[in-house]
């Protein structure tokens, strides 16, 4: 039985050959109605060095499925099953990773997430993963850094041909807190703009966890346990990277309405209920505040303590860094 035939909860849409025995870095996504964000997200990760993507579409109605089928480096799957009943997509994600990620460095992301790491501007992802292999690391934890526009959310209209970071280039530089946990990576991070929003809107539950472990050298039998916040025990790199998170575009209000009506996200979409309340109370919501900073580069995040880069890595990076910085999608922002 082929790997594709062994998949239980989805059907293969494309017919492209999937090579075996390669060392390519592979990206994995579960998506629904993400045509606005996917072009930038795929371009960014291609520029880093992701060579192949595995995308599962869960009933998109905005042309996402057709778009993915037109991308030559994307293997496309689909399912009409319940997102909530799949443990919020985790069953599907683990199944894809075990079928097509084993033996590879894998990057598991949402369509609105873009992975960066210290010195990503001049070091490719294959080079970075080579360093991780050299120190015996199997995964890299990340801060999920919520990005937002310098205008009202409703006015953050995104051009699909441009980087998402041109549309949303601000973030909260503080406060953030790290809490110890019993599950790998043994910590979780809270804080940032969504915590600020949830406090202002008097949410009766804890704001979202904003730490994930998206980059993993996958072995068959591994599993993510709660989204990509926690996973099976692995050797963690002594580096904190970043997932830039692009939720706050002009479609934010409509997406909140849709997800509240569907009720397919965690706890009957309680997070989206807060967003919808916020939009209804203030249609012109702006997120800029005294804690806002405009994104510059990875060195800025290291300086703010939002990335960590140990001396071992810094020494390696300085010796490896390309003499001429390559053009990256994110680096196009002035």
CA-closest candidate to residue 37, choices 333, 334, 329: 329
Domain boundaries, the chain: 3-321
What are the Cα distances from residue 76, in Å, to 134, 286, 306? Answer: 33, 36, 34
Cα 95 from chain centroid (whole Å): 18
CATH architecture, range 3-321: Alpha-Beta Complex (3.90)
pLDDT at 1: 31
> CA-to-CA distance for 28 and 5, rounded, in angstroms?
18
Q: Identify whether the C-beta of residue 293 lies closer than 8 Å to the C-beta of residue 171.
A: yes
pLDDT value of residue 87? 81
Q: What is the DSSP string of 294-311?
A: E---HHHHHHTTSSB--H
For the chain, 334 residues long, give each residue's pLDDT as a single digit of tens. 344 444 777 999 999 999 987 899 999 999 999 999 999 999 999 999 999 999 999 999 999 999 999 999 999 999 988 888 888 788 999 999 999 999 999 999 999 999 999 999 999 999 999 999 999 999 999 999 999 999 999 999 999 999 999 999 999 999 999 999 999 999 999 999 999 987 776 666 677 899 999 999 999 999 999 889 999 999 999 999 999 999 999 998 888 677 777 866 666 667 767 776 776 777 778 999 999 999 999 999 999 999 999 999 999 999 998 654 544 666 544 3
Rounded Cα–Cα distance for residues 307 and 142 (Å): 8
pLDDT at 204: 67
The two tokens of residue 32 are 């629904």
- HEC profile of 198-212: HHHCCCCCCCCCCEE
- Compute the distance between CA of residue 1 and CA of residue 3 in angstroms, rounded to an integer: 7
Find where tokens 């072009």 sit. 39
Q: How far is CA 39 from CA 34, 67, 70, 111, in A?
A: 9, 9, 12, 9
């Amino acid at each position: 039985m082929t790997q594709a035939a062994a998949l239980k909860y989805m059907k293969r849409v494309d017919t492209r050959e999937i090579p075996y025995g390669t060392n390519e870095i592979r990206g994995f996504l579960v998506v629904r109605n993400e045509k606005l964000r996917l072009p930038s997200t795929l371009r960014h990760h291609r520029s880093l060095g992701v060579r192949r993507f595995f995308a599962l579409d869960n009933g998109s109605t905005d042309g996402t499925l057709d778009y993915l089928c037109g991308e030559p480096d994307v293997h496309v799957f689909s399912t009409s099953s319940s997102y909530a009943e799949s443990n919020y997509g985790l069953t599907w994600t683990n199944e894809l990773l075990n079928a097509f990620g084993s033996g590879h460095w894998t990057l598991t992301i949402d369509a609105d997430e873009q992975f960066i790491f210290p010195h990503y501007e001049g070091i490719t992802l294959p080079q970075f993963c080579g360093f991780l292999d050299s120190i015996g690391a199997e995964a890299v934890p990340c801060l999920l850094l919520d990005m937002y526009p310098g205008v009202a959310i409703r006015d953050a209209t995104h051009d699909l041909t441009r980087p998402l970071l041109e549309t949303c280039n601000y973030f909260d530089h503080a406060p953030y807190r790290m809490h110890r946990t019993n599950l790998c990576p043994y910590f979780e991070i809270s804080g940032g703009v969504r915590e600020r929003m949830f406090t202002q809107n008097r949410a009766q539950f804890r704001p979202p966890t904003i730490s994930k472990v998206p980059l993993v050298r996958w072995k068959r039998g591994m599993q993510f346990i709660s989204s990509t916040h926690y996973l099976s025990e692995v050797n963690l790199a002594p580096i904190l990277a970043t997932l830039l998170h692009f939720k706050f575009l002009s479609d934010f209000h409509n997406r909140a309405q849709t997800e509240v009506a569907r009720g397919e996200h965690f706890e009957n979409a309680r997070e989206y209920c807060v967003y919808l309340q916020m939009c209804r109370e203030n249609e012109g919501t702006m997120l800029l505040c005294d804690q806002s900073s405009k994104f510059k580069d990875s060195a800025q995040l290291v300086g703010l303590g939002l990335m960590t880069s140990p001396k071992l890595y810094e020494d390696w990076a300085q010796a490896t860094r390309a003499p001429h910085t390559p053009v990256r999608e994110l680096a196009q922002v002035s």
